Amino acid sequence: MPGAADALSGARPFVDRCDAGQRLAGVLSPLRGQDVLVLGIARGGVPVAAQIARSLGSELDVLVARKIGVPFQPELALGAVTADGDRFTNLALLRELKLSTWLLRVLADEQRAEARLSEERLRGRRRPPRITGRTVIVVDDGLATGATMRAALRSVHRGGPSRVVAAAPVVARPTAQALRGEAVEVVCILEPSRFFAVGLYYEHFEPVSDDAVRELLAEGIRSVRVDA
């Protein structure tokens, strides 16, 4: 029986995050000229978001969301939480594993603290961007379960945007359908029914460093000021 690597053994759909971002930007081009804020989910979503912001001439910023892993299986997402405390929880998984809400709260608090530290490192002394009344595009490099995206979207919605779009180069079909069922616009290039690890859709999928994120954010600020 072929595995994930065999199923994607040919040319990968995306060269790297920049290529994926440029392709997403083409789909989002009707938003050019509008009051748009592009938020990249740290860290892998930021290089994708940077290409979109550059193409649309829009403000770029970062949003930190941390996965809440199951204690005995950290790669399995019990949910996710943002730096400001907005949280998504997979309630079905919580019940299936018979985990207590107390344990969930402890795990979420740990990840929220990490998210706050990460956001401080990446944003520095800059104030958070204005969300109220704007079109906000929340970007990641791929969505499997979509836990971090859901937490991020809850944070954004609380800010009172006029429109919210979840964008990623590749999104598992069940995740895309669930997000659309929650009245979220989903923009993607690929929506496979059989979803493999996000990195398998890229030829190059190296980790993104804090320094790389800070550099992209600085470039985005300079670009917006020049265009203004």
Is 70 part of a structural domain of the chain? Answer: no
CB 120 within 8 A of CB 210: no
Is 56 part of a structural domain of the chain? Answer: yes
Is 221 part of a structural domain of the chain? Answer: yes
Is 158 part of a structural domain of the chain? Answer: yes
Domain ranges, residue 161: 13-64+127-227
pTM over 0.85: yes
In the chain, the number of structural domains is 1
Is 204 part of a structural domain of the chain? Answer: yes
Query: Distance between CA atoms of 56 and 165, rounded to whole angstroms?
Result: 14
Q: Within a 13 Å sphere around the CA of 87, how many CA atoms are in the beta-carbon half?
A: 18
Looking at residue 222, its pLDDT comes to 64
Looking at residue 194, its pLDDT comes to 93
Is 95 part of a structural domain of the chain? Answer: no
Q: Which domain CATH number covers 169?
A: 3.40.50.2020
Looking at residue 142, its pLDDT comes to 97
Strand bridging mode 65-70 / 73-82: antiparallel
List Cβ neighbours of 86 (8 Å cut-off, separation of 6 or more).
Answer: 151, 152, 154, 155, 158
Looking at residue 6, its pLDDT comes to 41
**Low pLDDT (below 50) residues in the chain:** 1-7, 226, 228
Residue 88: both structure tokens together: 């998504």
The single-letter DSSP state of residue 29 is: G
CB 48 within 8 A of CB 141: yes
Is 82 part of a structural domain of the chain? Answer: no
Looking at residue 135, its pLDDT comes to 97
Is 121 part of a structural domain of the chain? Answer: no
Residue 61: both structure tokens together: 């910023």
